[in-house]
């Protein structure tokens, strides 16, 4: 039975760096559109949320994906990841109670540094 290869520490470092660069670009993009960044790389017992941002009366829990193409980035989020992000968001709101609507967004970034934002990428279930 084939096993998954574990990424080397060099690959982990490269992926971490790419993720940070993509999140920096996503935050700059959001700020230019009047979002306020509330948190980045928010760790909870349920997992990490890449970006938590507020615009008007909506808090967006945002997953950032950097892939060769925007389409690849959007399809990189599995149902298991979605549920993890939902649980992490509910935990965040339980310790940071705010009276606003919430939604789950995706920001996709390709290797040409094009950015696409998909608000309400999925619903909390």
CATH of the domain at 46: 3.40.1350.10
Residue 3 lies in a domain: no
**Torsion angle in degrees (nearest 10) through CA of 19, 45, 91, 53:** -10
Residue 13 lies in a domain: no
Residue 30 lies in a domain: no
pTM above 0.75, yes or no: yes
* Cβ-Cβ contacts under 8 Å for 101 (sequence gap 6 or more): 57, 58, 59
Q: What domain range is 44 assigned to? A: 35-122
Residue 68 lies in a domain: yes
Tens of pLDDT, residue by residue over 60-110, are 999 999 888 888 877 888 999 999 999 999 999 999 988 889 999 999 998
Residue 8 lies in a domain: no
Residue 11 lies in a domain: no
- Domain count within the chain: 1
Residue 51 lies in a domain: yes
Residue 7 lies in a domain: no
């Amino acid at each position: 039975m084939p096993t998954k290869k574990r990424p080397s520490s060099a690959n982990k470092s490269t992926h971490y760096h790419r993720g940070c660069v993509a999140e920096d670009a996503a935050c700059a993009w959001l700020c230019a559109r009047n979002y306020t960044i509330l948190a980045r790389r928010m760790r909870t017992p349920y997992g990490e949320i890449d970006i938590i941002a507020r615009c008007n009366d909506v808090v967006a829990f945002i997953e950032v994906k950097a892939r060769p193409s925007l389409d690849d980035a959007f399809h990189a989020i599995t149902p298991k990841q979605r549920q993890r992000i939902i649980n992490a968001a509910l935990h965040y709101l339980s310790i940071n109670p705010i009276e606003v609507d919430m939604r789950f967004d995706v920001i996709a970034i390709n290797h040409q540094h094009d950015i696409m934002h998909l608000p309400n990428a999925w619903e909390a279930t």
